Chain A
């Protein structure tokens, strides 16, 4: 994973609560065996009608927002299915951070693993950002080390889990980190009770 230290760009407001991963990337696009190429299908059922025609009113399709980097959304973003295709699709489209009052647990984990930054702010702060983002040229700047988001002359402080922050800033591969403890794993395995199932 590439280090994530700063994110700078325009914002895209999508102020619904409980946006589930079925909306972020509908199931008909989960059949790929790659991690890439999901961007064109982001929010597909909202972005295209039944005939596959572009829905011009949907905010992702508005030219001014095409280069947005920061998604501003409602409560419980990313609920439902564990599909990691959701953060893959957001990143592939160009989104690098999502700001919301709350996130679903699995989506948040999946985002961290891919360098997509989920930022929790208070509901009224998210609403202020969404109001700013009504102007598609409004910029925001995120500083991961400082745990701040600056926009509209304001500085919004957020907090990251220290370990997550460490991994993001250094672009760490957490499998490599775990494998540094391989001897601990081997020791633990030697103590596992014999009644635990195995398909050997």
Chain B
């Protein structure tokens, strides 16, 4: 019977299967960071359990690190303790750590692909919901909690109930200026923030096939914002050429063996999904979120809705709550919304292609005098690459701050936060209340749209922008 990519990866990792119990899945790679791991290591110590496979884990420091002035150390004593705890735990257990003095340090979901350790057909977990990012390589990758982190450290496996599979088909040519970010915002707008609950999404269709690896990662990254723990994209020549030659990618004869395996992974013709949705790329304009969840978004040439635009009373109430928090009036044109801050970065849009797209909007232009804009590259290596291309000069000349790698203002666990009432054009993934700082107002957009907004001081339709 023809099988899906998801079914193949799942069945290739079942260690043990029994009726009435979840399957026990082997985990090929466990990514670890400072915020969701300390209690897991403590649990191992209390029970006297060793880390089973330190060679299949990779740790970095990303959530709580400052992105400026690191040479002065970490002033927040709690963040410092959390980071020192991870360093000590890695030393004690033999887990490889890319620490703050390592150029490979960066956001956990950026560094895996960058090192070539994220590969097709793998199972990958991390105590972070955006682990779905790695699905762009045709790896089954999902976020877990700290108890599960402990479970993987102790056993290199996880008991998992098998999710359903949903095909998300996107076909046709994307309009000019629409990006991978706009595709995923359009998908979430369509299925809602819980439309993918209990499912793995496989993104398919010729639009997806034409995307770069960076674009595919942006899409898979936000699968969780549609409620799906994992997103998948079939590996193809784009995937293989991205991987070839990276430090942790297979080399020599093992490359050919790996390639043979990878080529057998994609969903076979005639394989069936539990559900399916279709989007025409031609209908996807640049999107801007207006609300307090990632499904609450509108085309840039559209307007903020009114609660009365919805028929479901719960949706009306949810919209009213969002507009009140976001300090927006119904029917405000998106391009009439002015902004105070711009954040370019995160595991959604902190890769080199994102920085190039934003820099391309800036040539000779200046950040609006009322706007405070910052670039936080996704990793130390993204930063070095951007500097080798002169992108840092473009950003700095325009008035952006050029910072060190980390999660930064995507979740504001470090000092990079919004003040109450500050409105931010952000290339990140979540616009929840207070996500970027208590009382902060977040609008999710693509990197090019963020750069244009920084210059104009408001959202602009980049398709018509001539400033």
Contact = CB atoms under 8 A, between A and B. Distances in A.
A184 B293 CA distance: 42
B99 interface: no
Interface in A162-200: 162-163, 174-175, 177-179, 181-182, 184-185, 188-189, 192-200
Interface residues of B, number: 83
Contacts of B330: none
Contacts of A82: 36, 127-129, 143-145
Given A18-B293, A194-B254, A185 B157 contact: yes
B96 A199 contact: yes
Contacts of B281: none
A79 B227 CA distance: 7
Nearest to B19: A162
Contacts of B438: 26, 45, 50
A82 B29 CA distance: 18
A20 B224 CA distance: 12
Contacts of B385: none
Given A174-B159, A184-B15, A109 B145 contact: yes
A175 B49 contact: yes
Contacts of A198: 55-56
Interface stretch (B76-84, B166-174, B344-352): B76-84
A5 interface: no
A104 B63 CA distance: 22
Nearest to A29: B78
B177 interface: no
A137 to B, nearest CB: 27
Interface in B87-126: 96, 116-117, 119, 122
A96 interface: no
B439 interface: yes
Contacts of B156: 185, 189
A14 B420 CA distance: 24
B183 to A, nearest CB: 21
B333 interface: no
Chain A interface bracket (under 10, 10 to 19, 20 to 34, 35 or more): 35 or more
Interface in A14-44: 16-18, 20, 22-23, 26-28, 30-35
A113 B43 CA distance: 13
A69 interface: no
Given A81-B129, A194-B254, A195-B261, A161 B79 contact: no
Interchain residue pairs A-B with the least CB separation, the first 9: A31-B78, A113-B147, A110-B145, A84-B145, A200-B55, A195-B258, A33-B38, A82-B143, A76-B194
Contacts of A34: 39, 42
Nearest to B413: A27
Nearest to A86: B145
Interface string B41-80: 0100001010010111110000110000000000010110
A131 to B, nearest CB: 15
Given A45-B438, A76-B194, A105-B227, A175 B433 contact: no
26 contacts: A22-B411, A26-B438, A28-B412, A30-B35, A31-B76, A45-B433, A45-B434, A81-B411, A82-B145, A84-B39, A84-B145, A105-B198, A109-B144, A163-B20, A163-B21, A174-B151, A175-B155, A178-B151, A181-B15, A184-B16, A185-B52, A188-B15, A195-B258, A198-B55, A198-B56, A199-B55
Interface of B: 15-16, 20-22, 24, 26, 28-29, 35-36, 38-39, 42, 47, 49, 52, 54-58, 63-64, 76, 78-79, 81-82, 85, 96, 116-117, 119, 122, 127-129, 143-148, 150-151, 154-157, 159, 161, 163, 193-194, 197-198, 224, 227, 229, 248-250, 254-255, 257-258, 261, 293, 314, 318, 321, 411-413, 420, 430, 432-435, 438-439
Listed residue (B16, B38, B255) with the most chain A CB atoms within 10 angstroms of its CB: B16
A118 to B, nearest CB: 13
Contacts of B82: 31, 33
B6 to A, nearest CB: 15
Contact of B24 (A109, A181, A194): A181
Contact of B145 (A113, A175, A188): A113
A86 to B, nearest CB: 9
A5 to B, nearest CB: 20
Contacts of A189: 26, 156
Nearest to A112: B147
Nearest to B115: A197
Contacts of B229: 105-106
A163 B160 CA distance: 11
B194 A31 contact: no
A182 B457 CA distance: 59
A33 B42 contact: yes
Contact of B412 (A27, A80, A163): A27
A10 interface: no
